[in-house]
Amino acid sequence: MTDTTMTAAAVEQDPDLMIDQVTGEIIDERELAQQLLAQAKSQGVSLVGPGGLLASLTRQVLQTALEAEMTEHLGHEHGGVPAGTNMRNGTRAKTVLTEIGPVEIEVPRDREGTFEPVVVPKRKRRLDGIDALVLSLSARGLTTGEIAAHFDDVYGAKVSQDTIGRIAEKVSGEMAEWANRPLDRVFPVIFVDAIVVKVRDGQVRNTSFYVVMGVTTDGERDILGIWAGDGAEGARFWLQVLTEIKNRGVDDVLIAVCDGLKGLPDAITTVWERTIVQQCVVHLIRNSFRYAGRQHRDGIVKALKPVYTAPTEAAARERFAEFTQEWGGRYPAIVKLWENAWAEFVPFLAYDVEIRRVICTTNAIESINARYRRAVRARGHFPNEASALRCLYLVTRSLDPTGGGRARWMIRWKPALNAFAITFAGRLEPANN
């Protein structure tokens, strides 16, 4: 084995090692970090912030990269014999905003003005990492003013609110592409839920944003889209949304779990004739609490549990009759609520316990909605629907597709997927071919 091969193998085995591209030697990043820390202490300077050691190091790296680009452009080293008529022509001072703060650099110039630097392009005042940081802060609900203050406090950098707003708006094209991307042909389950956001459009009002999440045949969660809508539109609104999803490639949905949104069940069966509409049990229980005194909630939950865990619909009706006898006199509105939702409540009782486990609740989407709500609460209200939708998209964009929650969800989903394949024989197989 050659020295080069041994060096590459060592670097591959240890992520803290890197190869010096000039000398070919192995550099231990841990030792380098310790040296930098020792140097900062000996010089009495901080590592980060304006004037910090990392800012100085970043300046040196950018400066070295720019000089190397100029050398390649001209074909000769600094002070060497020019390969042609073009040559170096001094430098131009420039301040660029990096992830560790503002950095002052000297950009080399050439006489013919043909030099186009790549590492710090012309007319660019911030490196790409800054845009990602702004979008990350926006996804956490910070306003443009709060983000500007963050840069000032942490990095000592002045970034205008207009600049931050323009960075956030750059994601609009990406968002439109995401909203129109092709989707899988079959989804075993889709979940539909609403998030209420305050929008200031003339006056502050509550606006519903509807999130549709699908679970793929591989057990992956996929946010199919986010739509702003008025609940009063009912079936017409939902028909438009679901038709859009179908036109993006979704030919079949086995079960749709929702919260009794007006007009949604009819729209679902219009778009996908064989889809079963399932009322979310957790939402049904929560809605029951609106009519119950706080002191009676535990008793109501205890009395309802035999209903939604019954082995069959017939058994569920018997348990519901017992609930009605116990609580119907005090809370008739709860009885009426369950009777009105009964047709959409009972479908999952006919299925395997593994299928029940994943469709009787919108917990799968609730964990994602919790992220949306945190960002919305942090912001308070938005100037318009487009701004609110952009914030929700940035939250979606920031979801970790490889996190531990994903792994737990997929483990939980696999038994249900097997049950779906048996219960809905012939409807999942084409998606796997």
pLDDT tens per residue across span 327-338: 999 999 999 999
Whether residue 234 has pLDDT greater than 80: no
**Range 82-93 burial, b when 16+ CB lie within 10 A, else e:** eeeebebeeeee
Radius of gyration of the chain, Cα coordinates, nearest whole angstrom: 30
160 and 232 co-located in one domain: no
Same domain, 333 and 397: yes
Higher-confidence residue of 322 and 173: namely 322
**144 and 280 belong to one structural domain:** no
User: What pLDDT score does 418 carry?
Assistant: 85
Domain C-terminal end among 115, 141, 169: 169
Residue span of the structural domain in which 212 resides = 185-430
Residue 252 confidence class, pLDDT cut points 50, 70, 90: very high
Mean pLDDT for the chain overall: 76
Burial of 433 (0-12, 13-18, 19+ CB in 10 A): exposed
Any idea which residue has 């490196």 for tokens? 127
Q: Which residue, 364, 370, 432, 408, is CA-closest to 190?
A: 364
The confidence score (pLDDT) of residue 187 equals 94
- Shared-domain flag, residues 397 and 272: yes
Cβ-Cβ contacts under 8 Å for 425 (sequence gap 6 or more): none
Mean pLDDT for 63-89 is 78
- The whole-number pLDDT of residue 62 equals 67
Whether 223 and 355 share a structural domain: yes
Q: Which residue, 210, 232, 161, 178, is CA-closest to 383?
A: 161
Q: Which two tokens stand for residue 266?
A: 């009819």
Question: Of the residues 142, 169, 196, which one is the last residue of a structural domain?
Answer: 169
Tell me whether residue 47 is exposed, middle or buried, using C-beta atoms within 10 angstroms of its C-beta: 0 to 12, 13 to 18, 19 or more: middle
Spatial separation of the C-alpha atoms in residues 215 and 253, rounded to whole Å? 10
Which backbone phi and psi does 311 adopt, to 5 degrees?
-70, -25
Q: What does the DSSP assignment read for 201-235?
A: ESEEEEEEEEEEEEE-TTS-EEEEEEEEE-GGGTH
Q: If pLDDT is split at 50, 70 and 90, which confidence band does 8 have?
A: very low
Domains of the chain: total = 2
**Contact call for residues 135 and 368 (beta carbons, < 8 A):** no
Listed residue (376, 375, 371) closest to 197, CA to CA: 376
The residue ranking higher by pLDDT, 125 or 30, is: 125
Which tens digits make up the pLDDT trace of 132-142?
Answer: 666 666 666 66
Q: How many CB atoms lie within 10 A of CB 97?
A: 21
Residues 285, 317 within the same domain: yes
Beta strands in 202-342 (DSSP E): 203-215, 221-229, 252-258, 276-279
* 254 HSE (CA, 13 A, CB side): 27
Residues with Cβ < 8 Å from 189, sequence gap 6 or more?
Answer: 214, 215, 253, 254, 255, 256, 257, 358, 359
| Predicted local distance difference test score (pLDDT) of residue 309 | 87
Q: pLDDT tens, 414-425? A: 888 888 888 888
Position 348 pLDDT exceeds 70: yes
Sorted by sequence, the CB contacts under 8 Å of residue 68 that are 6+ apart come out as none
Q: Is 238 among the domain residues?
A: yes
Same domain, 154 and 272: no
d(CA 340, CA 347): 14
Which pLDDT belongs to residue 426? 85
Cα distances from 129 to residues 48, 80, 96, 184, in angstroms, run 16, 35, 12, 32
Torsion-angle region of 19 (φ positive above 0: left; ψ -120 to 50: alpha; else: beta)? beta
Query: Is residue 363 domain-shared with residue 218, that is, in the same domain?
Result: yes
Q: 407: closest CA among 190, 183, 221?
A: 221
330 found inside a domain: yes
At 158 the pLDDT is 66
Q: Which residue has the tokens 């929700």?
A: 392
CB 47 within 8 A of CB 54: yes
- Is residue 177 scored above 70 in pLDDT? yes
Examine the domain organization and report whether 140 and 243 are in the same domain: no
The answer, yes or no, to whether residue 237 has pLDDT greater than 60, is: yes
Instruction: For residue 415, give every residue at least 6 positions away whose Cβ sits within 8 Å of its Cβ, in sequence order, or none.
Output: 354
Within a domain: 137: yes
In a domain, 109, yes or no: no
Within a domain: 280: yes
| pLDDT of 432 | 45
Name the least confident of 52-66, 341-355, 375-389: 52-66
In a domain, residue 84? The reply is: no
Residues 216, 163 within the same domain = no
Q: 204 with 198: CB under 8 angstroms?
A: yes
Q: Please tell me whether residues 382 and 237 are part of one structural domain.
A: yes
Dig out the tokens for 232 from the structure. Answer: 């009063």
pLDDT at position 126: 64
Residue among 402, 296, 416, 396 at smallest CA distance from 351: 416
Q: What local confidence, expressed as pLDDT, does residue 141 receive?
A: 60
Provide the sign of the torsion angle of the four alpha carbons 210, 215, 221, 222, taken in this order.
negative
Those residues whose C-beta lies under 8 Å from the C-beta of residue 34, and which sit 6 or more positions away, are none
Residues 6+ apart with CB under 8 A from 377: 141
Whether residue 70 contacts residue 92, with contact meaning beta carbons closer than 8 Å, is answered with no
79-83, 215-219, 256-260 — which is least confidently predicted? 79-83
Measured distance between the N- and C-terminal CA atoms of the chain, rounded to whole angstroms: 44
230 with 348, same domain: the answer is yes
Residue 331 lies in a domain: yes
More confident residue, 60 or 317: 317
Is the residue at 106 inside a domain? no
